[in-house]
Amino acid sequence: MYKLIIICIIVFLSSVIADSLYPLPLEPTEHSYARTVLSKNGEPLRAFADAKGVWRYPVQIEQVSPYYLQALLSYEDRWFYWHPGINPFSMLRALWQNIYYGRVISGGSTLTMQVARLMEPHTRTLQGKLKQSVRALQLEWHWSKADILRYYLNHAPFGGPLEGVQVASYSYLGKSAQYLSRAEAALLAVLPQAPSRLRPDRHPERAQVARNKVLQRMVWLKVWTKEQVNEAQIERVIQQWHRPAVIAPLLARRLKSKVVANKGLITTIDHAMQQRLAAQVKQYINRLPPKTSAAVLVVDNATLAVRTYIGASHFMDASRYGYVDMVQAARSPGSTLKPFLYGLAMDAGLIHSASLLIDVPVSFAAYRPSNFNRSFSGVVSVSEALKKSLNIPAVQVLHHLGVNNFVSQLRNAGLRVYLPAGGKANLSVVLGGMGAKLEGLVSLYTALANKGLSGKLRYLPSDPVLQRRFLSEGAAFIVRDILTRDLKGKSGGNKAFAWKTGTSYGFRDMWSIGVSTRYTVGVWIGRPDGTPLPGHYGGRTAAPLLFSLMRSIQAKQEQQRAATKPDSVRQASICWPLGKQQSMTEIGLCHSKKTAWLLEENTPSTFFDDQLWASNPVSLLVDQTTGKRVDISCVHHATKKVKKALWPLAVEPWIPLGFRRKQQLPAYDAQCDYPSTQGEQPMVITGLQKHTVLKAKGSGLRLPSIKLSTKGGSGDVRYWYINGKEITITSSGKSFPYVFKRAGEYQITVIDRIGSTAMITVDISAL
């Protein structure tokens, strides 16, 4: 008895010493493993072969079909969960068969022994077999059965550069190993026995014969019924080959460094959505000029998880710069920042949704913006200015909010702002005068769906949900409500969502960003090399793609839910030109009624951008007998005090005659010898009458030329615009010639130093 114990101790100690002197080979370094980036459900998005060109899609046991596990263990190693690494009975049986037939019939290897050979290849000799057996015992000592099985699933050879059941399943069958049928499971179970000879893409007949052998074994072992196997044998082995997945390739390249050795990196990408939208984007961009590309992001508003990441429309097309990830490229954002300008101005108490803004050729701090459509609307509300993406009203609001304030709040919300080297932010930033990335813009737009909280986009499930207060909940609601339209631009509707477009200077970048109940979708279209796309702009080129993607995403969803109105917001009737609530405005001072969203009951006055507006409404003394204006030093009869609400001086050409200063302000009593104040002498354009029609003349139908000048107005400088484009600057009273280049309607506008404006329209006919 004691001798037996001593022998056992000696054997144990010998094993420990041998194990320490002859340890298991270390796993290959992480750089030798293929790196695989996966979707949120584990489907491969892109794999990067290892240094030896081997492809392997890491997989867990629970991610493999039970049919495959049944076929594998039943055919290769029925006693896997009971033996210590070697199966003496199987080895004796194999030895007898080999002696009886005079050739190798069976190897008698357990699954653990096969793993040992995969880890440390050896020759098929008795010495090699003994080494393999020792290694198998060591494996069982150090590893669990699950670890051994997992290693086999990921390293078994399947022909050529393929290792592991997952990559074999995708390559030969076009599906995940999780969804194998019985016939497919039997095929992949037998394939590692002779991967080159049985490759189904090259030798489908041989592969089918070997597969059927496994299926018959499953009946004999009573693992599957005869009926199940008969049905499985009907399936033919098809000669096919599926290229390695290249889905979300630029995101995979971006995340490659985060892949842990021999483990796939799970991302937040929705595999089916990514494939579907990528196909739509590619098909759409094919219709656009050469070198054009596109980038798209789809973000789940609730979790900030990125579900679709398209960095380029044509990844494999060098002529379209498919290798450039435009999700991360800093480009001019055009008008896409305007919603946040208005939202921040609401939070600052500067405006409400119906505040009166000016859309006329005017200068702000020596900066004279123009509209994209080269025309002017006169007076517009905040809502109208945002919906129409007008430039001049946006610059007016930014002028009052402050450029540095605006840029600082964008940065605080997480947007990385790119300014020219040594340059400073100016009023042009809201029109695209700086750089921003698509992912940064999309992160800002999630604030419209998340009660004013902007969020950092998440590409991995492990990424934390990080949000910052950007807008108040009320401001976010109002801005989203203004931008919410259906695909035809009409407010409301079951499929309505908030969307905004943008175009950079020179037609280099086209943007369209949409916010629905569930998703925020950002689209960029342009040429990665920065060359322009003349005739293409956000509304024409990027918006249709956004609408198409939104329809695809919303097709299987419930109807869009309207955003819940917070308690801090209510609707009220306000009056122009003063901007106050109707209930707080005297009847005679309410020239026009508008419905506004008010935030925290705040009703700020209309911006004053000229001297006469500063004391608005103005109080006047009027002679009750003559109706003339007088002052306290010149009273001949009884007087009365009247109030008048004045419109901004710059918009006078666009408002009804009855609301203009000349009609609102009575003339001074001549007996008082009171001088007219600056700006009350209206400026008019001379040289043409309004609505004049000019026709071409001469044998060549030469288009006419004109000479223009002004009378009245203030200051010694005049700024001239034709169809919204600044043409020239002249001195007061000096005329300038202009030759029309084509037929059509022309809007001619002039502005003086204090913002007084005159406008006429003429029609040039070539007939």
Looking at the domain that runs over 56-234, which CATH code has it been given?
1.10.3810.10
pLDDT value, residue 29: 46
Catalytic residue among 39, 293, 335, 516: 335
Q: How far apart are CA 551 and CA 76, in angstroms?
A: 50
pLDDT classification of 363: cutoffs 50, 70, 90: confident
**Mean predicted confidence (pLDDT) in 735-752:** 83
pLDDT tens digits, one per residue of 166-206: 999 999 999 999 999 999 999 999 999 999 999 999 999 99
Q: How far apart are CA 414 and CA 398, in angstroms?
A: 20
Q: How far apart are CA 485 and CA 251, in angstroms?
A: 31
pLDDT tens digits, one per residue of 474-516: 999 999 999 998 666 555 555 579 999 999 999 999 999 999 9
pLDDT value, residue 692: 74
Asked if pLDDT for residue 577 goes beyond 90, the answer is: yes
Asked if pLDDT for residue 611 goes beyond 60, the answer is: no
pLDDT value, residue 617: 85
pLDDT tens digits, one per residue of 17-55: 655 556 676 554 444 567 889 999 988 899 888 777 888
Asked if pLDDT for residue 606 goes beyond 70, the answer is: yes
Asked if pLDDT for residue 641 goes beyond 90, the answer is: no
Asked if pLDDT for residue 240 goes beyond 70, the answer is: yes
Q: Decide: helix, strand or coil at residue 70.
A: helix
Residue 240's φ and ψ, nearest 5 degrees, are -150, 160
Asked if pLDDT for residue 7 goes beyond 70, the answer is: no
Asked if pLDDT for residue 721 goes beyond 90, the answer is: no
Cα–Cα distance list, 171 to 46, 55, 74, 161, 477 (Å): 13, 10, 24, 11, 49
Which of 30, 65, 24, 66 lies closest to 48, judged by CA? 30
Asked if pLDDT for residue 659 goes beyond 80, the answer is: yes
Cα–Cα distance list, 333 to 1, 413, 418, 442, 647 (Å): 87, 16, 11, 11, 33
More confident: 604 or 733: 604
The architecture in CATH of the region 684-765 reads: Sandwich (2.60)
Max mean pLDDT among 5-9, 540-544, 743-747 falls in: 540-544
**Mean predicted confidence (pLDDT) in 391-418:** 95
**Mean predicted confidence (pLDDT) in 45-72:** 89
In the DSSP assignment, the letter for residue 162 is: B
Q: Which amino acid is at 241?
A: W
Which tokens belong to 236?
Answer: 């033919």
More confident: 657 or 391: 391
Domain locations along the chain: 56-234, 268-328+439-466+476-563, 608-674, 684-765
Strand ranges of the sheet holding 35-38, from the earlier edge strand across to the other edge: 44-48, 35-38, 265-266
Burial 411-424 (b: 16+ CB within 10 A, else e): eebbbebeeeeeee
Whether the Cβ atoms of residue 626 and residue 637 lie closer than 8 Å to each other: yes
pLDDT value, residue 727: 81
The sign one gets for the Cα dihedral 280, 284, 290, 292 is negative
pLDDT value, residue 638: 83
Asked if pLDDT for residue 56 goes beyond 80, the answer is: yes
Q: How far apart are CA 21 and CA 440, in angstroms?
A: 56
**Mean predicted confidence (pLDDT) in 662-674:** 79
The architecture in CATH of the region 268-328+439-466+476-563 reads: 3-Layer(aba) Sandwich (3.40)
pLDDT value, residue 558: 46
Catalytic residue among 76, 163, 384, 652: 76
Whether the Cβ atoms of residue 333 and residue 432 lie closer than 8 Å to each other: yes
pLDDT classification of 263: cutoffs 50, 70, 90: confident
- Percent with pLDDT over 90 in the chain: 54
Quick one: three-class SS letters along 514-577?
Answer: EECCCEEEEEEEECCCCCCCCCCCHHHHHHHHHHHHHHHHHCCCCCCCCCCCCCCEEEEEEEEC
pLDDT value, residue 12: 46
Asked if pLDDT for residue 382 goes beyond 60, the answer is: yes
Asked if pLDDT for residue 435 goes beyond 90, the answer is: yes
> What is the chain's Cα-based Rg?
39
Q: Mark whether 15 is an active-site residue.
A: no
| DSSP state string for 329-371 | --B--TTTTHHHHHHHHHHTTS--TT-EEEESS--BTTB----
pLDDT value, residue 502: 96
pLDDT value, residue 678: 40
pTM score of the predicted model: 0.81
pLDDT classification of 522: cutoffs 50, 70, 90: very high
Residue in the block written with tokens 């025309």: 375
Among 80-84, 177-181, 305-309, 683-687, the range scoring the smallest mean pLDDT is 683-687
Asked if pLDDT for residue 742 goes beyond 60, the answer is: yes
Q: Mark whether 235 is an active-site residue.
A: no
pLDDT classification of 8: cutoffs 50, 70, 90: very low
Which tokens belong to 64?
Answer: 């493999």
Which tokens belong to 721?
Answer: 């615009």
Which tokens belong to 531?
Answer: 């060359």
The sign one gets for the Cα dihedral 737, 739, 745, 746 is negative
pLDDT value, residue 274: 97
Average per-residue pLDDT for the chain? 86
Which tokens belong to 264?
Answer: 């796939």
E strand intervals along 142-231: none
